[in-house]
Structure 1
Amino acid sequence: MKNLITLGLLILLSIKLCAQEKVQITIIKNANIFDGLNEKLISGSDVLVEGKLIKKIGKNLSAKDATIIDAGGKTLIPGLIDAHWHTYYSNAPQSILATGDAGDVAIIGFIGAERTLMRGFTSCRDVGGNPFAVARKTDTGEYPGPRLFISGPPISQTSGHFDFRGKNDVPRNLTDPMPYWERVGLIMVADGVDEVIRRSRENLRMGATQLKISGGGGVSSSYDDLDVQQYTFEEMKAVADVAKTWNTYVAAHIFTDEAVQTAIKAGIKSIEHGFLMSDETLQMMKDNDVWLSLQPLLDDEDALHFDNPYSQEKFSKVTAGTDHVYKRAKELGVKVAFGTDALFDPKAAEAQGKMLAKLKRWYTPYEVLKMATSTNAELLMLCGPRNPYREGGIGSIKEGNYADMILVDGNPLKDIDLVANPDENFVVIMKDGKVYKNTIGN
């Protein structure tokens, strides 16, 4: 009887082991590696990937049952990171705010997530929206999309940048129902210290990795001009204090000096945009170790287009400061991150790589690639223990990191424009050790 029980247990164990999914092993051989940190390529090397992680980097690597990808001397780079992305806003037309619903936005965002990954962006910091469902699906590996560091609904004051209510929806009574887009978490309006604390904690409860507020006027919004500071010092400090208690940080949409300086004093650690800042404010950012999350937005052939002339006029004013801020931030040594902030236009979203290549106006190809990989990863890691991806690191090719990598047909350290055409030049795209694209035929 005892022998029969033992045999039965062994059979059950065997069945369980057989049912377990086999760990995928992949070796990328004969690649010239840009590790995300150093300008000099690691020539003729192999990368052994086991499951989601980079197991070993070296020459002549082998492993039983490994899938081999022969890079043939092509350049292997870390997966790209967009530090200012909107999973839901990027592809949805602005008119959807008037005519659509949460289902429309979610479907557009879910489809757009695959396109984002196939442009080589394996990680994005989503600084406004409610794409938690998209992240839950893509994190399983069953559906393609970048890993997302989500702020949740961006928090704005009444008449602020994220107050998308209709013209006649104010005054708002305390007993009025919450507007639809706030109920579904696309945006959030909060006024006063108590209310911004509550909404901040709600975002963290939803799973936010960092918080996002509007601290100044915006381009796409209808009721605020660019010079307006949004939120008082006390309100900004309240949000920053909540983030601190959760061991994370706050990103703030702001363009102008006074608002940025108030945000810095309040403890906010990431300034989004900042196109109209002076040298004095940039130096204050440097002195207080505050990040500048900047986008290479210019009033050129890739300019964003808006449904109303008021927003278009503000866009022109903002982009007039782009060149100055990039130059001075670099000269002063401010920590600068790369993002795109594509809004309400699938064509703008598709230009994600082209936007990265535009940094060549101010940076060398090495500086551009480093910013979009290891530097951006450094900013994302300010979320500390709120980071949902703690099994490995991101932003660089090194042992123990997530296997987020792109094989480029050419050397982007010599020709950064290669990243502007990922369909043609990115021949392998891997995220979490899973190959989502392989056009080199092995």
Structure 2
Amino acid sequence: MFKCSPAEEAEPQDFTCLCHSPAFARLNALVEQRFSRRAFLTGAAAISAAALWPGVSVAAIPAPPAIPIAFTNIRLFDGKSGKPIEGQRVTVEGNKIKAIEAGSDPMTEGAEVIDCGGRTLMPGLIDAHWHSMMAPIGMIDLMTADIGYINIACAEEANRTLMRGFTSIRDLAGPSFGLKRAIDSGLTAGPRIWPSGAMISQTSGHGDFRLPYEVPAEPTAPLSRGERLGGGMIADGVDEVLKRSREQLMLGASQLKLAAGGGVASNFDPIDVTQYTEAEFRAAVDAAENWGTYVTVHAYTPRAMQTAIRGGVRCVDHGQLMDEETARIMADKGTWFSSQAFIDNEYANPYPEGSANRAKQLAMFAGTDTAYELAKKYKLKTAWGTDILFDPSRTKNQGALLTTMTRWYAPDEVLVMATGTNAELLAMSGPRNPYPGRIGVIEAEAYADLLLIDGDPIADIKLIADPDKNLRIIMKDGRIYKNTLTA
């Protein structure tokens, strides 16, 4: 696949030309086996090539278990009932849960036994609104840095995401296709990813990060930096929305995301504006439904949410400014409400005082309590996510942000939301679901994505906020990525 000058021209062990190094030879062979040239050039190579460079930490991928593993002496939180179950044993075989059985039942022959010492075994956590390619990179770096650097930095963050106990994430904007492929093929560690690809936005919308001097665009103007990266894609009119939607599906989107209204992070769209028409939403929905999946939207206001719902959208992300009429419509339609604990606390990402972004942020914060009250009143299908964006210093708070949901829900409700309920939302991708087995629950034949918590997270949910200390075992796909029980 790669060509260079004849190997005999290079001095032994002197890799003046990188192409002659053993590491490069191994990479080249791997690429020949696993990737087409086209897929390699789109970004997966940048992540896999991290192994070639000194000083870059590449997570070791544990081997799959050779024999069944039996977790004994556990307090079981199954991701469904919200109540701990005593006296059970969970047996994992391969990458699936084989059985949940009474601790007194005969043990699976030849199983490795892990005595959990009465600790809580629960499903891996799920973040339904994560940006794997935009959370760990500041906006300036994202708009100016080399894509290779961005991919490697995000691969490192994916490993940290997994080490925080998040075994699955729904990626709601960003060029995560290459990272997902690298994780799935064992090149780097990280969570399962349900990618949306680029967020589709109208001109002047939440995903239009062009500067004023770039407007109006020339008819033959090249794509903007954000579009070239795959962070956002500008589309106006039914035909253009249909085309851009189909492109993201072609690239591997498990669901589509459109911007339906103003945002906080974007500089040129007030938070109250409504973006896209019902017909434009319908075009994206038609494209998604033809592929067996769905559309979610970024939206805060009632008008933005209702326009999207009339266009066939099945999920609203954010919704902090929701009113009662909108909540009733969502309940009637069965529309998902995927929201975040956005309040002005120590985990917020405050914009400069006096800025337009800060004013929009405060308006959004002010609606959060009402939105959750309405979601509970109308029994909306409610998912949870973090939506950390452009701030690598905040990604460490992923679990802590989950614990703040106790402002509105009991701890057991919060934990079910971040496991079994979020899994139901991810399953809406239907045939585009990249991991068609069950996740978010501990039941027979579900994927073996498991956490062992040093304590009872229902009694003290803040245990989730300190994963380094309190997550004793992290298992994803049957592989143990962390085990400190023997330390």
- What's the TM-score bracket when you normalise by the shorter of the two chains? over 0.9
With over 3 angstroms needed to count, the CA separation of the structure-2 counterparts of 1:433 and 1:199, relative to structure 1, is same
Match of 1:385 in 2: 431
Q: What TM-score comes out, normalization by structure 2 length?
A: 0.84
Number of aligned residue pairs: 422
Q: 1:28 aligns with which of 47, 50, 71?
A: 71
Task: Give yes or no for contact 2:195–2:253 (8 Å, CA) kept in 1.
Answer: yes
Task: Give yes or no for contact 2:142–2:150 (8 Å, CA) kept in 1.
Answer: no
Task: Give yes or no for contact 2:91–2:97 (8 Å, CA) kept in 1.
Answer: yes
Task: Give yes or no for contact 1:52–1:402 (8 Å, CA) kept in 2.
Answer: yes
C-alpha separation between the residues in 2 aligned to 1:305 and 1:434?
Answer: 38
Where does 1:393-432 land on structure 2 (aligned, <5 Å)? 393-432=438-477
Task: Give yes or no for contact 1:27–1:61 (8 Å, CA) kept in 2.
Answer: no
Deviation of 1:317 after TM superposition, in Å, equals 1.2
Specify the code of the residue in structure 2 equivalent to 1:316. Answer: L
Q: 1:205 aligns with which of 250, 269, 273?
A: 250
C-alpha separation between the residues in 2 aligned to 1:142 and 1:61?
Answer: 38
Q: 1:236 aligns with which of 281, 288, 294?
A: 281
With over 3 angstroms needed to count, the CA separation of the structure-2 counterparts of 1:313 and 1:24, relative to structure 1, is farther
Match of 1:12 in 2: none
C-alpha separation between the residues in 2 aligned to 1:22 and 1:322?
Answer: 44
Deviation of 1:324 after TM superposition, in Å, equals 1.1
Task: Give yes or no for contact 2:143–2:225 (8 Å, CA) kept in 1.
Answer: no
For structure 1, the 5+ residue unaligned runs are: 1-19
Match of 1:150 in 2: 195
C-alpha separation between the residues in 2 aligned to 1:49 and 1:255?
Answer: 42
With over 3 angstroms needed to count, the CA separation of the structure-2 counterparts of 1:21 and 1:151, relative to structure 1, is closer
Say if 2:125 is the partner of 1:49: no
Match of 1:221 in 2: 266
C-alpha separation between the residues in 2 aligned to 1:61 and 1:209?
Answer: 41
With over 3 angstroms needed to count, the CA separation of the structure-2 counterparts of 1:25 and 1:180, relative to structure 1, is same
Task: Give yes or no for contact 2:155–2:188 (8 Å, CA) kept in 1.
Answer: no
For structure 2, the 5+ residue unaligned runs are: 1-62
Specify the code of the residue in structure 2 equivalent to 1:381. Answer: A
Deviation of 1:97 after TM superposition, in Å, equals 3.6
Q: Percent identity?
A: 48
Match of 1:321 in 2: 367
Match of 2:396 in 1: 350
Specify the code of the residue in structure 1 equivalent to 2:450. Answer: M
C-alpha separation between the residues in 1 aligned to 2:236 and 2:71?
Answer: 53
C-alpha separation between the residues in 2 aligned to 1:34 and 1:278?
Answer: 34
Q: 1:82 aligns with which of 117, 121, 127?
A: 127
C-alpha separation between the residues in 2 aligned to 1:219 and 1:357?
Answer: 23
Match of 2:229 in 1: 184
Compute the RMSD of aligned alpha carbons: 1.7
**CA displacement 1:298-345 (0-9 Å, x = unmatched):** 111111134792212211111111111111211111111000001111
Q: What TM-score comes out, normalization by structure 1 length?
A: 0.92
Deviation of 1:102 after TM superposition, in Å, equals 2.1
- Larger deviation: 282-291 or 64-73? 64-73
Deviation of 1:373 after TM superposition, in Å, equals 0.5
C-alpha separation between the residues in 2 aligned to 1:177 and 1:307?
Answer: 32
Match of 1:399, SS? coil
Task: Give yes or no for contact 1:85–1:124 (8 Å, CA) kept in 2.
Answer: yes
C-alpha separation between the residues in 1 aligned to 2:408 and 2:230?
Answer: 37
Match of 2:417 in 1: 371
Where does 1:223-302 land on structure 2 (aligned, <5 Å)? 223-302=268-347
Task: Give yes or no for contact 2:82–2:415 (8 Å, CA) kept in 1.
Answer: no
